[in-house]
Structure 1
Amino acid sequence: MAGALTTPETTTSDESGEPLAADFEPWSFWRTASDEQQRDQHRRIDALRSHGFVIGADCVVSRLAAVHPDALVLGDRSYVAAHAHLSGDVTIGADCSVNVGVAVRGRVRMGRAVRIGAHASLLGFDHRFDDPDTEMFRQPLRSVGVEIGDDVWLGTHVVVVDGVRIGSHSVVGAGSVVTHDVPAWAVVAGNPARLIRRRREPRARTTRASLAAHGDDARAQVGAVLASAWVDEAYRDSPGARPTVRAHTDAVELADLLTGAPPPQLALPDHVARLRSLQDERTGLVDEPGIAWGRVTSLLDDGQAYHVLDVGYALGLLGSSFVHPPRTLTDLSPAALVDLLDVLPWEHQTWGSGALVDALGTALTWAARRGHPAAAGRVEAVVGWIVAHRDAATGLWGGSGDGLREPVNGTYRLVRGTLAQWGVRVGGERALVDTVLARGTQVLDDPAASACDALDVVHLLWWAGSTGGVHRAPEVAETAAAILDDALARWVPGAGTPFAPDLPPSLQGTEMWLATAWYAADLLGRSDALGYRPRGVHRPEPFLATSCTLDA
């Protein structure tokens, strides 16, 4: 069985005369091992299979390796050398090498042709230490898992921690500690591992000429996009959809972005009147047409929260503003604001929590721009809470839950509505860049990624660079270039851009992907070639001028 250290057969010398050569150099086992050693290896494989493990053809598992997983798949022609340790739920593809002293523990998945240097550790689990009153070894384990693609080389003494994905065809230098995802075809090294170079040139990147052509196409075709969205005297996000406030404000954003004028379907005063009529006089909030304002609502209602932004910015682009301040948000005292932020479900609903802060920050911005006497004190209270509650290790606000998507989106929403609008610098951007680059790898690997997923990444990378200097600049540029390529490739002539690949082109998708393209191009120093710059909800400039600089 696994873990047995020796049998009479394992002491038989191979043709080199060294009795342990077959255990420490298993890549040559079937060529150099003695007949007795080969017979013993067949018994070893049979024993492993009898325990339910899936072992392919021509594999070698040294008698000097500790192999006691809960589940094991070992592909054809793969081998496990002496002093290796396999435990947990392990899947290893064909033609892989687990060399001397390698630890593969927890939930680990690797593709084919993965070469693991001596004394490396792939740790698909982690100890929790959340409770300071309980000894750490008594606290539960967590296992997200380690995933490794095809044709990967991990050097000697590499450590890969739980939750990391390593892309195919990549190389990890000796002694590296891999704490974030590694993209395909990358060469990384260091502690923590950083991108050194690419093994091959990435696909052709978007040039200034192609950016200019995209901007020209968008300007020439936006009229058709807006006209197709105008049905029965109302804007609809896409054909067949119901009329919404968001569709109307996206139409205003697109027309301003690409033509510098209101959408032609209504005269400017009519746009203003229609949007202002949707505001509730008592609360200052905005909901869809026909909604009775007596209903019970939640401050986490993403529709009401977002309408503070989209209607407010649309009215600003039209040269107007809200009739009433968003009192539900702006009339809270500084202490009440802090209490509200404290009770938001940051660990489990980071998206919704960030959306509310987005709306709250924007409401305070509108109040400050109109001279609300208490706006400044409220802004300071919100900034103080934000600085005090940031996770220094990730640069995010909120828990990670089952992944990075929710906390990165929640952080984007929080930053956009407060720190970015107010021009506040809080430091700590290196950790944020590390985390967002890891999320960027996930977005680029996800064929179903939406405009929201891509915009979260490029906006936060842009904001971090504008407030905290350049960190991991080659990887930031690589991520921005890939997202920019994707943004331009999704344009459907005459119809705009789908929000996500399985949806039709829409006003929302078009506006968000155009903003995404601008931020990605600006990270590369080429946004001027597009010929447009967001001025509304995705504007890069702060709406309030502050001199506040804090260290998180």
Structure 2
Amino acid sequence: MIDPFEFSPWDFWTRADAAAHDRQRALLSGLGERPGHELGEGCFVSELASVDNDALRLGDRTYVAAGAYLTGSLRAGTDCSINPYAVVRGTVELGDGVRIGAHTSILGFNHTMSDPELPVFRQPLTAKGIRIGDDVWVGSHVVILDGVTVGDHSVLAAGAVVTKDVPAGAIVGGNPAKLLRWRIPPTGPRGDLGARLAAFADRARDQAGDVLDRSWEGSLFADRPGVAPTVRAQADAIEIADLLLGTAPPQAPLETQIERLRGWQDAATGRVPRLCSPAAEPDDPDVAYHVLSVGYALDLLDSGFAHPLTLVTASSAGEIASFVDGLPWGDRAWHAGHWVDALGTALLWSKRRGDALPTGIHESLLGWLVTHADPATGMWGPIGADGSRLQIVNGFYRASRGTFAQFGMPLPYPERVVDTVLAHVRDDRYFRPDRHDACNVLDVAHPLWLTRATGYRAEEVAATARRLLADALDRWVDGEGFGFRAPSRDDPSREASRPGLQGTEMWLATIWYLADLAGVSDALGYRPRGVHRPEPAPL
């Protein structure tokens, strides 16, 4: 019969008999004689554990239960426990009071796979190491990958797959792990903002169901009560549910939502018309935006368009260049960027579908943008005669989102983009707090995020992000979400200030970008995956 203390050694030294104590002391003595091994007072290592370390340090009262598998270099502090069948391999450091649940794997090394001709098991290993702070609870069946640092007082929920650093005091869970809430909220200037963001995100998640229910008309979503359902409202609901709930909207079966979106696409043109229109008018800006909104909504539902998008499949490279050249960059750069965004995203979906594309069409679109960017502003189109940069900044966001950002391409003049955006955000015509709207703030947040790797004017960028973020967080309306525009002291009753799905979807994404620029996005526990995804879209 196996001694139960082998699996539950917590009170071994107070309850086990003298003979068991003697066997354990002998085992510990033998381990301690190995080179690079050091064991503190009151430790326990099960006879049924596999301990094959190159270097091992266990602090006082640290226990290793039956079935545990230890290799590599492990340094553990005092009062740690490694529960049955846990795996701790590679270079791993544990602080004091780290409790590791059963069947957890902490893997402080990794295989390389750079040589496709060589089997993975024959390729070299790398080891960045894993560091876990003090007073950390690691639940059962958790996986922690190489290179991760876990902060003090944090909790890794059962089943979490931890691929990135965990801030001190955080409770994380899921695959990949993300912030669920705070065990100990951060403190200090950064911490205050982080705690405020975490509280906001908890509030938004708790109320996400109410926000969606409010706009559900029984069979379709409307942007808000009292207005007609739209195609975009269905897509916005899917984006909000994905961000806050991690699922499709629960108001309708998943299959129904997918079939509906795919069924609205015009088989002849690939475009999605308005609900109130029998045809997809080629110049309708809503129809152009449906390339993004419906396409990414389907993507979030693990589906895609049913038919080719003739916007790109039926156009030559020369026709695309001519079309972009004829857009109203001189006075309506936002409108021009809107169509470039649709073209770039149509290219993405066409590549995903495997549709035949005319030779050079992608290069034609990107090439036009590179060769026509203004070296003084980094953007397309002129500054307004009144000094306004609204059109070129908003147009830049739309055009760059669908091309450079979506395909992971470098911008031609990133530092000039920063200069232009920071000058624009000082314009009180648009950035007095009660004049903010989701479009204008997103259209500065995204370009600043897209250019962040330059490090140019980084402190000003972060300060701008914190200021805009603090204003945005105050505008959430319980059970309703965000209005597209901030309530205005000039017109407090304006319709666009009423909360709806569009405002909620856009502000949630904007808040993430601003928080990331301020270095505190991990407090939100969500990351955009749809239209506003920060990473290039996979092909």
TM-score by length of structure 2 reads: 0.61
Instruction: Provide the aligned length of Structure 1 versus Structure 2.
Output: 338
1:369 aligned onto 2:344? no
2:375 alignment partner in structure 1: 392
**Structure 2 residue 289 is the aligned partner of structure 1 residue 306:** yes
Of the candidates 349, 367, 373, which is equivalent to residue 332 of structure 2? Answer: 349
How far, CA to CA, are the matches of 2:217 and 2:282 in structure 1?
Answer: 31
The amino acid of 2:338's aligned partner reads A
Deviations 1:227-283 (CA, angstroms, capped at 9, x unpaired): 000014211111211110111100000001111111011000000111111111111
Listed as ranges, the matches of 1:31-430 within 5 Å are 207-293=193-279, 297-299=281-283, 301-374=284-357, 377-401=360-384, 402=386, 403-430=388-415
Among candidates 457, 460, 481, match of residue 472 of structure 1:
457
Aligned counterpart for 1:511 among listed residues 486, 490, 505: 505
**Aligned-partner Cα distance in 2 for 1:456–1:350:** 13
Question: 1:423, 1:544 within 8 Å by CA — same for their partners in 2?
Answer: no
CA contact (8 A) 2:313 2:356 kept: no
Q: 2-side partners of 1:376 and 1:517: how far apart?
A: 39
Q: Distance in 2 between matches of 1:216 and 1:385?
A: 44
Counterpart for residue 536 of structure 1:
530
Q: Would the alpha carbon gap of residues 459 and 206 (structure 1) be closer, same or farther in structure 2, given more than 3 Å must change?
A: farther
Q: Do the aligned residues in 1 keep the contact of 2:484 with 2:504 (CA within 8 Å)?
A: yes
Could you say if the C-alpha distance between residues 337 and 544 of structure 1 is closer, same or farther in structure 2, counting changes exceeding 3 Å? farther
Q: Output the CA distance in 2 between the equivalents of 1:384 and 1:281.
A: 30
One-letter amino acid matched to 2:341: D
> Deviation at 1:328?
2.5
Task: State the 1:378 CA deviation.
Answer: 1.6
Tell whether the 8 Å contact from 1:330 to 1:360 is kept in structure 2 after alignment.
no
Counterpart-to-counterpart distance in 2, 1:520 and 1:206: 15
- In 1, are the aligned partners of 2:373 and 2:412 still within 8 Å (CA)? no
* Contact 1:205/1:481, CA 8 A, preserved across alignment: no
Look up the SS of the partner of 2:273 in the other structure: coil
Hey, what's the Cα distance between the residues in 2 that align with 1:400 and 1:298? 29
Q: 1:520 aligns with which of 505, 514, 524?
A: 514
Q: Is the 1:205–1:485 contact (alpha carbons within 8 Å) kept by the matching residues of 2?
A: no
**Cα shift at 1:290:** 3.9
Residues 375/524 of structure 1: CA separation in 2 closer, same or farther (3 Å cut): farther
Whether the 8 Å contact between 1:309 and 1:362 is mirrored in structure 2 is yes
Paired residue secondary structure (2:224): coil
SS in 2 for 1:505: coil
Please say if residues 320 and 361 of structure 2, whose CA atoms lie closer than 8 Å, have aligned partners that are also in contact: yes
**Deviations, residues 135-188 of structure 1 (Å, cap 9, x unaligned):** xxxxxxxxxxxxxxxxxxxxxxxxxxxxxxxxxxxxxxxxxxxxxxxxxxxxxx
Q: 1:376 to 1:271 in 2, by over 3 A?
A: farther
CA contact 1:368–1:375 (8 Å) conserved in 2: no
Distance in 2 (alpha carbons) for counterparts of 1:426 and 1:234:
39
Partner secondary structure for residue 200 of structure 2 = helix
Deviations 1:294-336 (A, max 9, x none): x7x343x210110000000000001110001211333211111
TM-aligned CA distance change 1:543 to 1:355, over 3 Å: same
Percent identical residues:
49
Partners in 2 of 1:438 and 1:506 — Cα distance?
30
Gaps of 5+ in 2: 1-188, 487-493
RMSD of the alignment, in Å?
Answer: 1.7
- 1:206–1:481: 8 Å Cα contact kept in structure 2? no
What SS is found at the alignment partner of 1:384?
helix
Question: Normalization by structure 1: what TM-score?
Answer: 0.59
Distance 1:204 1:386 in 2: 38
- Selected match of 1:456 from 437, 443, 452: 443
Post-superposition shift, 1:371? Answer: 2.2
State the distance in 1 between where 2:192 and 2:224 align: 28
Residues 415/205 of structure 1: CA separation in 2 closer, same or farther (3 Å cut): farther
**What SS is found at the alignment partner of 1:497?**
coil
- Aligned 1:475-494 pairs, distance under 5 A: 475-494=460-479
Q: Provide the C-alpha distance between the structure 1 equivalents of 2:533 and 2:473, rounded to a whole number of angstroms.
A: 19
**Partners of 2:305 and 2:200 in 1: CA distance:** 34
Cα offsets for 1:523-549 (capped at 9, x unmatched): 11211110000000000010147xxxx
In the TM superposition, residue 444 of structure 1 has moved relative to its aligned partner by 3.1
Contact 1:305 1:359 in 2 (8 A): yes
Partners of 2:452 and 2:364 in 1: CA distance = 25
Deviations 1:455-498 (Å, cap 9, x if unpaired)? 001101000114xx111111101110011111211111111011
Q: State how far apart, in whole Å, the 1-side matches of 2:521 and 2:433 are.
A: 25
Asked whether the equivalents of residues 206 and 485 of structure 1 are also in contact (C-alpha less than 8 Å), the reply is no
Contact 1:345 1:353 in 2 (8 A): yes
Please tell me whether the aligned partners of residues 205 and 482 of structure 1 are also in contact (alpha carbons under 8 angstroms). Answer: no
CA distance in 1, matches of 2:470, 2:357: 45
SS in 1 for 2:247: coil
Letter in 2 for 1:539: R
Gaps of 5+ in 1: 1-202, 546-552
Matched AA of 2:451: A
Residues 194-248 of structure 1: CA distance to partner in whole angstroms, max 9, x if unpaired?
xxxxxxxxx9995211111111111110000000000142111112111101111
